[in-house]
């Protein structure tokens, strides 16, 4: 059925300050604007005078006049005089405006409220009486609250990390007192007091006691004072700190040139931890870390990767250390492994003392287990070694196999390649190799 519906009931003082709206019972998207209920007893022959809006610098301030029953009965409510500091108030266009909403409510609007508008306001009605007066003082809005402690991953997790001894704070400043700060945590509500020495910091101590058996809980900081029609609210989540799994460290097994990969990974940790990699006690700088957030478990997988290596690491220890990025009172966790890797690299030298030129190549292979055999090849019939030699020596990290080869270089081999191959016993992987490409310009 089309048309209007009306609600009529006997309002009591319990409804004062409440907001009302109507919503369609079959379609929740159809609803009326919010209506604010401001109730006041009307005493005396003139009526009641009330403040209808917050008194805020630069805002529109509304004063309301409710004629008394006596004024309504005698029809004397139509004549009235607005007063400021007991002087007639001149209603200037652009500064003031009077509105008649109904015969039960008159409104005076003061535009762009400023210092000169402060004072004592009242209304004189033609029944020969005054309303009660109201004092208009400028109330400053508090700053929008900040919920914390917030760490850089808040934008991802919206989490305030909770552990034993955790505190939670809501920060707001510059608001005219009294400022009320409340913390809504599930069904619980806490009124917070400003900290000693810093009244803008409202703290709830030992918040971990509210998180027993929970991993994530919504929390709201609510700030209000006389300058706000509606409280400020800022939201977040209380999230328990998760230590995660023990780190898994993958050390290099083979070194090709100076390239090999070391990986340290930890899963189901919260918040993300900083990962450090050390060779013996030396912190490595060339470490790249990524943190992957799982929106289902609200935890991170943190992976640190180091792609550079060195043959001198053989026989040393690599350690991966997880360190809390922030001060959570958690201890660091380390896992270590010994490095035993196979490697192969080539060194070159050019001999210009004779003609034709001679290229001197040396390939070196090392490993912890058994010696390796080294062979040479090329992709040109004009490239063959005029002499080779090979030897093996022991080292603190295992065996080092070395092979040396000399080649005649002519212009016919420009751009051709020479390779050395290393095959080690008990090594099931393919032979490792290094390649040298000839450039005649390098010999000139």
What would the pLDDT profile of 333-380 be if each residue is shown by its tens digit?
A: 899 998 877 777 777 777 665 566 888 999 888 776 677 888 999 999
CATH topology of domain 248-338: Immunoglobulin-like (2.60.40)
CB atoms within 10 A of CB 426: 7
How big, in percent rounded to 5, are the helix, strand and coil portions of the chain?
A: 5, 50, 40
- Residue of higher predicted confidence among 258 and 416: 416
The SS3 of residue 70 is helix
Closest CA to 440 of 419, 408, 414, 407: 414
Instruction: Quote the DSSP letter at residue 31.
Output: B
Question: What are φ and ψ of residue 412, in 5° steps?
Answer: -70, -15
Domain ranges of the chain: 13-136, 146-240, 248-338, 342-443
At 75 the pLDDT is 66
**What is the helix (H) or strand (E) element at residue 157, kind and residue range?**
helix 154-157
Compute the C-alpha angle 332/337/343, nearest 5°: 135
Q: What pTM was computed for the model?
A: 0.54
State pLDDT tens for residues 124-149: 887 678 888 999 988 888 999 999 88
Statement: residue 76 has pLDDT above 70 = no
Q: How far apart are the first and last CA of the chain?
A: 100
At 2 the pLDDT is 55
24 and 31 in contact (C-beta within 8 Å)?
yes
At 408 the pLDDT is 87
Q: How far apart are CA 55 and CA 19, in angstroms?
A: 19
At 167 the pLDDT is 83
State pLDDT tens for residues 178-209: 899 998 887 778 888 887 777 788 888 888 77
- Residue of higher predicted confidence among 78 and 443: 443
Residue matched to tokens 């108030």: 89
**What is the helix (H) or strand (E) element at residue 107, kind and residue range?**
strand 105-110
Q: Which residues share a beta bridge with 274?
A: 323
Residue matched to tokens 């990974």: 265
At 48 the pLDDT is 87
Q: How far apart are CA 302 and CA 295, in angstroms?
A: 14
Question: What are φ and ψ of residue 92, in 5° steps?
Answer: -90, 140
Q: How far apart are CA 344 and CA 137, in angstroms?
A: 83
- Give the class (CATH, top level) of 342-443: mainly beta
Statement: residue 39 has pLDDT above 60 = yes
What CATH code would you report for 13-136? Answer: 2.60.40.10
Report, as an integer, the average pLDDT of 215-225.
88
State pLDDT tens for residues 304-332: 999 988 878 888 899 999 988 776 656 78
Find out whether the peptide bond into 310 is cis, omega within 30 degrees of 0: no
**Among the CATH numbers 2.60.40.10, 3.65.10.10, 3.40.50.970, 1.20.1740.10, which is that of 146-240?**
2.60.40.10
Find out whether the peptide bond into 271 is cis, omega within 30 degrees of 0: yes
Report, as an integer, the average pLDDT of 11-23.
72
Q: How far apart are CA 409 and CA 357, in angstroms?
A: 5
At 56 the pLDDT is 86
Q: How far apart are CA 203 and CA 185, in angstroms?
A: 14
The answer to whether 248-338 and 342-443 have equal CATH topology is yes
Q: Which residues share a beta bridge with 435?
A: 419
Statement: residue 292 has pLDDT above 90 = yes
- Residue of higher predicted confidence among 7 and 83: 83
Statement: residue 8 has pLDDT above 50 = yes
Q: How far apart are CA 284 and CA 35, in angstroms?
A: 64
Highest mean pLDDT (candidates 1-15, 390-404, 409-423): 409-423
Instruction: Compute CA distances 439 → 265, 321, 351, 359, 409, whole Å.
Output: 43, 45, 14, 11, 10
The SS3 of residue 23 is strand
At 421 the pLDDT is 86
329 φψ region: left (φ > 0), alpha (ψ -120 to 50), beta (else): left
Burial, 146: exposed, middle or buried (Cβ in 10 Å; 0-12, 13-18, 19+)? middle
Statement: residue 222 has pLDDT above 80 = yes
387 and 408 in contact (C-beta within 8 Å)?
no
Q: Which residues share a beta bridge with 400?
A: 366, 393
Report, as an integer, the average pLDDT of 82-107.
88
Q: Which residues share a beta bridge with 301?
A: 292
**What is the helix (H) or strand (E) element at residue 399, kind and residue range?**
strand 398-409
């Amino acid at each position: 059925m089309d048309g209007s519906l009306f609600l009529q009931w006997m309002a009591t003082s319990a409804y004062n300050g409440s907001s009302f709206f109507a919503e369609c019972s079959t379609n929740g998207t159809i609803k009326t604007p919010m209506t604010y209920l401001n109730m006041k007893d009307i005493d005396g022959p003139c009526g009641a005078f009330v403040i209808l809006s917050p008194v805020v610098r630069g805002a529109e301030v509304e004063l309301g006049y409710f004629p008394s029953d006596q004024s309504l009965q005698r029809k004397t409510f139509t004549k009235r005089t607005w007063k400021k500091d007991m002087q007639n108030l001149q209603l200037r266009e652009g500064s003031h405006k009077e509105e008649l909403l109904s015969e039960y409510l008159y409104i005076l609007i003061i535009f762009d409220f400023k210092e000169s508008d402060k004072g004592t306001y009242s209304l004189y009605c033609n029944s020969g009486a005054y309303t009660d007066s109201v004092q208009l003082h400028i109330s400053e809005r508090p700053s929008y609250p900040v919920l914390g402690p917030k760490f850089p991953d808040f934008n991802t997790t919206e989490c305030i990390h909770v552990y034993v001894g955790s505190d939670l704070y809501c920060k707001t400043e510059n608001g005219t007192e009294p400022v009320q700060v409340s913390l809504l945590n599930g069904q619980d509500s806490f009124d917070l007091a400003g900290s000693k020495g810093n009244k803008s910091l409202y703290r709830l101590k030992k918040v971990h006691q509210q998180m027993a058996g929970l991993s994530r809980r919504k929390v709201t900081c609510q700030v209000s004072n006389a300058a706000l029609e509606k409280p400020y609210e800022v939201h977040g989540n209380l999230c328990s700190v998760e230590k995660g799994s023990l780190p898994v460290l993958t050390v290099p097994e083979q070194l090709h040139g100076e390239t090999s990969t070391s990986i340290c990974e930890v899963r189901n940790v919260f918040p993300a931890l900083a990962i450090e990699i050390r060779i013996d006690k030396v912190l490595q700088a060339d470490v790249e870390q990524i943190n992957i957030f799982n929106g289902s478990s609200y935890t991170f997988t943190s992976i640190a990767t180091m792609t550079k290596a060195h043959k001198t690491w053989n026989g040393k220890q690599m350690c991966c250390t997880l360190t809390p990025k922030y001060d959570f009172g958690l201890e660091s966790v380390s896992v270590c492994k010994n490095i035993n890797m196979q490697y192969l690299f080539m060194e070159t030298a050019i001999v210009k003392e004779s003609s034709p030129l001679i290229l001197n190549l040396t390939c070196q292979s090392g490993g912890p287990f058994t010696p390796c055999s080294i062979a040479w090849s090329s992709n040109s019939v004009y490239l063959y070694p005029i002499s080779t030699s090979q030897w093996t020596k022991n080292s603190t990290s295992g065996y080092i196999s070395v092979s040396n080869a000399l080649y005649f270089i002519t212009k016919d081999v420009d751009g051709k390649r020479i390779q050395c191959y290393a095959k080690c016993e008990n090594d099931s992987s393919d032979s490792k190799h290094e390649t040298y490409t000839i450039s005649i310009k390098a010999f000139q």
